[in-house]
Structures are given as C-alpha cells and as structure tokens.
Amino acid sequence: MTCDGDTCLTAEQPNFSCPEGEFSPSVLIVDDDLDMLAMLERVVRKKCRCAVKTAPSAEKALLLMEEWQPDLVLTDIKMPGLDGLTLLQKIKSQYPTMAVIMMSGHGTVESAITALKNGAYDFIQKPFDNAHLLHILQRCLEHLCLLEKNRRLQSRLADQESFPGFIGKSSQIKEVYGLITRLADTDVTVLIRGESGTGKELAARALHGLSARNKKPMVTVNCPALPEQILESELFGYAKGAFSGATHDKKGLFLEANGSTILLDEIGDLPLSLQTKLLRVLQEKEIMPLGQTKSLTVDIRVLASTNQDLEHKIRQGLFREDLFYRLNVVTITVPPLRKRPEDIPPLAQHFLNRFAKEYDRKGLAFAADALPSLVKRPWKGNVRELQNVIKRAVLLADNESPISASQLTEPEPETSTPRPSAADLHGLHYNLAKQQVVEEFSAAYLANALQQNSGNVTAAAQASGMNRQAFQKLMRRFGLDADKFR
C-alpha cells in the first residue's frame, strides 16, 4: 500500500490522517447497476484520494484481482451470477487481509449478520446518503492504516540489527554492550549481576564470543544445581582412588576450560569450603584435583554471575569478602526488562520469528493491540518470562489470525486444594493424620526458610540447622523451586 499521509476526506467529514506517513488506499467497487457504479466511483474519487477501479460483476472483480489487489472492496450483495456474499467468501479465502464493505438494496438483518460473520468490515443498506457512506469508508481506512503501521513496525523490528546474543537499543542495554565490547578481549575477571531472567548468561557468552578464547567452547557451571561434594569433584576433578567409587582419574571443569572461559553461574550459592579453593584458582591460576598432592596450572578466564546481594551475604558470613573483591574486578549489571520497556517490542518480535520458524507456524504476526499490552506489563521474570509468554502464544495461535493482547495474558494459576483442617483429621487413622500435619508443616517451613533467605538454598539450609543435601531432598519432595523465592 502507498499513502500521502494527508487528509483523505473533505472538510465535511472528520479528517482521516495516516500516522505512519504515506498511505493512499486502493478501492474496488462492484455493482451490476451501472448508474450506481458510476455514482459511487465519482463520490469515492472526489471525497477520498484513493486509486479506484470498478467491476460490473463478481466474476469480473475476481479476474481483476488476479492482477490488481485493492485494499478495500465495496460490493453490492444482490447481483446476477455470483452474489456479493459468495464474492466475500472467495475474497476472504484468497486475500484474507483485504477489507470488504457490503451494500444491499434488499437489506435484512439476516444478510447483514451473515456478511459480518463471514468477515465483512461493515454493512450498508441502500439507499444511503454520501455522508453515511464516507463515514464508514473513513473508519475502514483508519483501520487499514493502523494495520499497515503495525506491519511496518514488525518488519523494522524483525530486521533490526542487534549486539551478539542481545536484542534491544535502549540506553541501558547499550551501556551493557559498551562494557562487553571493552572487556571482551581481556582476561579480566567479570562479575555479572542482575535479576533472574535478565540475560546474565548471554552477557557471559558475548564476552567469550568476542574474545580470542572463542576457538574453544565456554564451560558453564550451575553452582546451586549440585551438592557440595559432587560440585567440588566436578570443578577440580579427582585422581583414581581419591574416594570410594573413584575408579579412574576424572578431568575437572577447570581443566576442561583450560585455554577458554569458565562461567560460575549463581556464584552466591557456592559453599564456603569451595569459595576458599576458588580464591586460590583466581590468585594463583592453579587447581589441585581431589586425591592429588601436586597443583596443576590452568589458563582460564573466570566469569561469575549472580542475582543475589553478595554484600548482604558477606555481612551474614555466607560469602568470603576476599573472594568478592577478586570476582568484582569489573561488574556488568544487566538491567531488568521493566527498566528498558522500549526493548520489549523488538524482543517480542524476535521470539515470535524464532518460535514461528521452530514450530512451523509461518505467517504469524502480532495484532495491533499486542505489543502495547506487552510494554505495560511488569515482567517479574524479565526476558525469560517474555520468551515463555511468546512461545506459549505461538503454540496456541490460530495461523489465520494475528496474535492479540488477550492471547498473551498469563493463565490464572490453579487454586491448590486446601489441606484438611485439624477438625477434618479426627476421622482419619492417627498415623495418616500425623503424616498430613507433618507434611503441611514441612512444606510451609521450607518455603518460609527460602523466602527469608531470598531463595538461597545454602543459607536456608544453614538457618534451618540442616545440611544442603537434606534440605534439597525435602525441596524436591514438596515441589519447591528456589527461583520462585528470589
């Protein structure tokens, strides 16, 4: 479509202006009454700056549309041969974005309802005055202009260049780009901070990808995912016979990352005993596998990430201050999504393109109300939450319709079935009643411990007088996720 952006209707009518610049819609008028056809052509040409063509029958209109596809079709319903309702069905089948306004000199409520149900933009009954016709045309043209604006926006967003791994052009994310660019090709230790879901691992991957170490893959360690004993052997490796079950030498992740980069994800959950050993790695660039007495030199760059307040953990005695200063040589803070709302539309479009391709849902697009609704949301889960919302919308979308704001709404969480009260337990066997009460207490106690310690499993376990492994076992039993308390 093309447009000049000026007023489309005369001063007698409310002005139509396209907010997106150029828009000069094309209109096809279809009517078997040649006098009516000529009159409508004069009115539309005079009152609107539109490209206008006419057809005396539905059959000729369809032939014309094979070579010239208008933005709007104004058609009579009662015509010999193919009638207007059949023409409407064929248009919506072959050209679903084309707008259609129906006219009838034999208008009935039933025919109007049928036309609207089949996708007509509006219905007008003959005889009509020019002002009424132009008012309906104006509303339709404004609708077409909004759709065109939305398509152009989505096209720009899809073509937008972005920093490696990142999408967005806000001042906050540009500051992150600048830091990554300056620090990438150095060996300086970087602490990456930010809320859960903001893209801390992406920042680490960008630092590695832009460095001279990118010929080898970056090694990522999820610190809270493994019990302390297993994590130690995974990081440092072990010699055969170091402990029961050690039947062969194992190369640790620090050695795997030799010559490359290692990311210690969620470093705030690293046990104190391992913090001491990590400090030696940072200071001396040496590791000592379990069961060995000789240190091994490693050439690694260490990156660390956290969503926790490490200074607060230092005051609690849960994080070594000397390790903090070794890690905190340079800090990159990835901003939360709510502080860079202008990046939400390009991120949403990126995820739409990605998942539409991944799940073979080609042709999907956002409706005009979709992106504004996303910008207004708080996004507590940040980019990860936005990604999941778009993924769900793509999976559930109807290929023939754009994704609307209502389809991007989070589903209401199911209300859990309340546990029986003390009065309800009297009818149960003592052991069964006791089991239910203990389970209710345990789940509530663990959740409170996690809440009080901001989802830090190690701190919650220590505050509860339990070891980390026992605490994690109970968490799995009661289906508790530490991330939900951070």
- Side-chain half-sphere of 200: how many Cα atoms within 13 Å? 25
Q: Are 263 and 245 in contact (CB under 8 A)?
A: no
Work out the widest C-alpha separation in the chain, in whole angstroms.
Answer: 102
pLDDT at 471: 86
* pLDDT tens digits, one per residue of 294-351: 888 999 999 999 999 999 999 999 999 999 999 999 999 999 999 999 999 999 999 9
Q: What are phi and psi of 41, to 5 degrees?
A: -60, -45
Answer with the residue of higher pLDDT: 113 or 389: 389
Mean pLDDT of 265-275: 90
* pLDDT tens digits, one per residue of 118-170: 889 998 988 888 888 888 988 888 888 878 776 765 555 454 445 667 888 89
Q: What are phi and psi of 421, to 5 degrees?
A: -75, 175
Q: What is the mean pLDDT of the chain?
A: 84
Structure tokens given for 454? 């901001």
User: Would you tell me how many other CB atoms lie within 10 Å of the CB of residue 281?
Assistant: 19
**Tell me, which fold does domain 26-159 have in CATH?**
Rossmann fold (3.40.50)
User: Would you tell me how many other CB atoms lie within 10 Å of the CB of residue 9?
Assistant: 18
* pLDDT tens digits, one per residue of 225-237: 777 778 888 898 8
CATH code, residues 422-485: 1.10.10
CATH class of 171-335: alpha beta
Q: What are phi and psi of 19, to 5 degrees?
A: -70, -5
Location of each CATH 3.40.50.300 domain in the chain: 171-335
Give DSSP secondary structure letters for 274-320. HHHHHHHHHHHSEE--BT-SS-EE---EEEEEESS-HHHHHHTTSS-
Mean pLDDT of 94-113: 84
Location of each CATH 1.10.8.60 domain in the chain: 338-408
Q: Are 298 and 255 in contact (CB under 8 A)?
A: yes
pLDDT at 18: 55
DSSP H or E segment with residue 477 = helix 468-478
pLDDT at 155: 58
CATH class of 338-408: mainly alpha
Location of each CATH 3.40.50.2300 domain in the chain: 26-159
